[in-house]
Structures are given as C-alpha cells and as structure tokens.
Amino acid sequence: MKRKFLRQDYYKYRRLGLKWRKPKGSESKLRKSKRGSGLLVKIGYSSPNKGRINNLYPVIVSNPKAVETINKDKQIIIVSSDVGVRKTFAIFEKAKSLGITVLNRKKLKRAEKIAKVIETKKKAEKAKAAKSKEKKEEVKEASKEKKDEKKEEVKDTKKPDEKSKEEGLKKEESKKEVK
C-alpha cells in the first residue's frame, strides 16, 4: 500500500492542504521523527521496483550498435527521441533479430507513416522527372527534324554545279576512310 506523507499540522490549518512540505523548525517533532507525529519522507519507503518496467531496467538507445550491448534478460530498450526515421527502423530491426523488447513502439508506427509519405513523394518526383525527360527528348527530336528540313531546303536551293561538287567531295572522303 502506498504511504501518504502529509505536511506537519495539516489538520490544524486547512490552508496547508494535503501536500507534503519538509519540516524545517528547530524543535519540530516531525523533523526529529518522534513517534506519533507522522511519517517523514525517507529513501527507505521507495518501492523495490523503482526504475523498472516489468522487472527490466529501461535503457535509452540512439543507434543500432548500442542494441548489441543490451542484456535481454535484464534490460528493455527505449528509442531516443532525437533519432530519425532511418535509424529507428535499424534499431527496431536489430532488436527484433536479437529478441529484445522495445518500449516505445509508437515511435516505430510514426516512423512507418513518415516513410510511406517519403516513398510517395519520391515516386511522384520520379514520375515527374520521367515526364520532363520525355518532353526534352521530344523537343530534341523536333529540333533535329527542323534542322534536317532546313538542310534539305538549302540543298534544294543550291545550283546543280554545287551539288555535283559536294557529291564528289563525299565520294573522296569515303574512299579515304576505306583505305
């Protein structure tokens, strides 16, 4: 049963309330621990499980390497609040493989939600990049077609003498390449 520590003379003055205040008077019976004057707060009244959860001591972990040092029979993991999504996943994976219990599973659920949002954003960015790439290729093809059309127009506008000279030069170049 939990002990109830009450302030000295709480029953005399209602304004003192039922809260605890340490007695400081030089002749205070409660401070001197006289019998019948009430309970004085001391360390001996603490419960034997203080600081434990299911008889396991909690240990704050901030990286996956620290999980390896945990004794699964005596300790339980609490993932630190300043750990990001990636490390949280790594810590939970490591703990699961070693069979160590993790106390704050809500952090994993939150990390999973964030990971899903990040994945959807990445997929959207990839799709956007693919579309822009296709548009760039279409623009390049269109510009090549325009250049080809201009070349054809230029060839058509040239005189027949110039055309024959160009053909002769091309033949000579091809002969050099063959040799």
pLDDT for the residue numbered 153: 72
pTM of the model: 0.46
Do 108 and 116 contact (CB within 8 A), yes or no? no
**Which are the contacts of 11, defined by CB distance < 8 A and separation ≥ 6?**
none
> Residue 55: pLDDT above 70?
yes
* Residue listed under structure tokens 């209602």: 14
Nearest-angstrom CA–CA distance, 137 and 128? 14
Q: Pick the closest to residue 152 from 161, 163, 141 (CA basis).
A: 163
Q: How far apart are the first and last CA of the chain?
A: 106
Question: Kind and range of the H or E element at 61?
Answer: strand 57-61
Q: Letter for the amino acid at 140?
A: K
The mean of the pLDDT values for the chain is 84
In this prediction, what percent of the chain has a pLDDT beyond 90?
35
* Residue listed under structure tokens 């054809």: 152
Domain ranges of the chain: 1-46, 51-145
pLDDT for the residue numbered 97: 93
Do 78 and 57 contact (CB within 8 A), yes or no? no
Do 21 and 7 contact (CB within 8 A), yes or no? yes
pLDDT in tens, 115-144: 888 889 999 999 999 888 888 888 888 888
pLDDT for the residue numbered 162: 60
CB atoms within 10 A of CB 67: 23
Do 77 and 57 contact (CB within 8 A), yes or no? no
> Residue 26: pLDDT above 90?
yes
pLDDT (average), residues 65-77: 91
pLDDT for the residue numbered 137: 86
